Homo-oligomer: A and B are copies of this chain.
Amino acid sequence: MPVKIYSNEFSVSTRGETEIIDITGRVESCVHKSGVTTGHVLVFSPGSTIGITTVEYEPGLKKDLQEAFEKLAPRRASYHHHKTWNDGNGYAHVRASLLGQDRVFPVKEGKLYHGTWQQIIFIDFDNRARTRSVTVQVVGE
């Protein structure tokens, strides 16, 4: 079978403030629609105050992860970025740069391949509610 590319996207409504949203089901749905049996899936979001990663999605770990980001780049610390734009979200940019907005997963037997306790999450670090966009691209046969 020839290798092909399938591209799709979906939107995520967030409240910001390091809200963590499980997007595994929506990525799985894109993989299913792609018809790809074996390949990679890229999960990417355009934006500089967000992140994509994995976690065992349960309420305790969501808090633990939020606290880890608060330690890495505290919400109320002083940021040079605030002098540039005065928008108060320097912490959100720093967290986003450290985490990244791209993750790649295998596709095996027509399905997103991941651990039972390894969900894909979207994190909005910014200080306001927003609708965000996620791009899912599958390459494979």
Within the complex, the shortest CB–CB distance from A55 to chain B, in Å, comes to 5
**A60-B84, A64-B80 known; A139 and B100 CB under 8 Å?**
no
**Interchain CA distance A103-B57 in the complex, whole Å:** 22
| Chain A interface main SS type | mixed
With beta carbons under 8 angstroms apart, the residue of B55, B60, B93, B137 that contacts A61 is: B93
Whether B106 lies near A104 (C-beta < 8 A) is no
- Binary per-residue interface labels of chain A (54-80) against chain B in the complex, 1 for a CB within 8 Å, 0 otherwise: 111011110111001001110000011
A44 at the interface (CB under 8 A from B): yes
- Count how many chain A residues have C-beta atoms less than 8 Å from C-beta atoms of the other chain: 61
A58 proximity list for chain B (CB < 8 A): 81, 84-85
